Amino acid sequence: MTAQLKKALTGASQHRLHESIANLPANQQLVVNQCLKQMAAKSSKGMRYQHDWLLSCILLRIKSPKAYSHLRDHAFLLLPSRTTLSRYVGVIRAQAGISDEALEILAKKLKLMLTDV
């Protein structure tokens, strides 16, 4: 069954596939695109993941490590390994508090609100 599906999807044109999933919500499109990309890969080793897909995987792992392991171990979704996620989390520079950009935007909004009154 999987081989038949793989053969049918590889034979379909990329344009037709994108048309088929265009009506799906953005997150579902992301999952389908990632599955198609992994299906075309010769090996899961050295897999390149989309930035949004990695962020979603990191959030899923943070919310529920057990659910992440279950989905990965039973191949419900082809998810990156914990090591891969750890590498990406190590690269992300996260700071606590409110960003300077957010404060600047709030100050501009407040200024506009005060001038309108």
Q: Is the pLDDT of residue 19 over 70?
A: yes
Amino acid at 45: K
Q: Could you state, in order of their start, the residue ranges of all structural domains in the chain? A: 1-43, 49-117
Provide the Cα torsion 5, 27, 56, 80; round to 10°: 10
Please give the average per-residue pLDDT across 92-100, as a whole number: 77
Handedness of CA 46, 48, 53, 59 (dihedral sign): positive
Q: Looking at residue 104, what is its pLDDT?
A: 92
Q: What is the mean pLDDT of the chain?
A: 81
Please give the average per-residue pLDDT across 82-96, as a whole number: 82
The two three-digit tokens of residue 41, written as one number: 């890969």
Whole-angstrom distance, CA of residue 32 vs CA of residue 60: 17
Whole-angstrom distance, CA of residue 79 vs CA of residue 31: 10
Over residues 37-69, the pLDDT tens digits come to 777 766 666 667 888 888 889 999 999 999 999
Please give the average per-residue pLDDT across 108-113, as a whole number: 90
Helices (H), the chain: 2-11, 14-21, 26-40, 51-63, 65-73, 82-91, 100-116
Higher pLDDT, 35 or 76: 76
Least confident of 37-46, 77-86, 98-107: 37-46
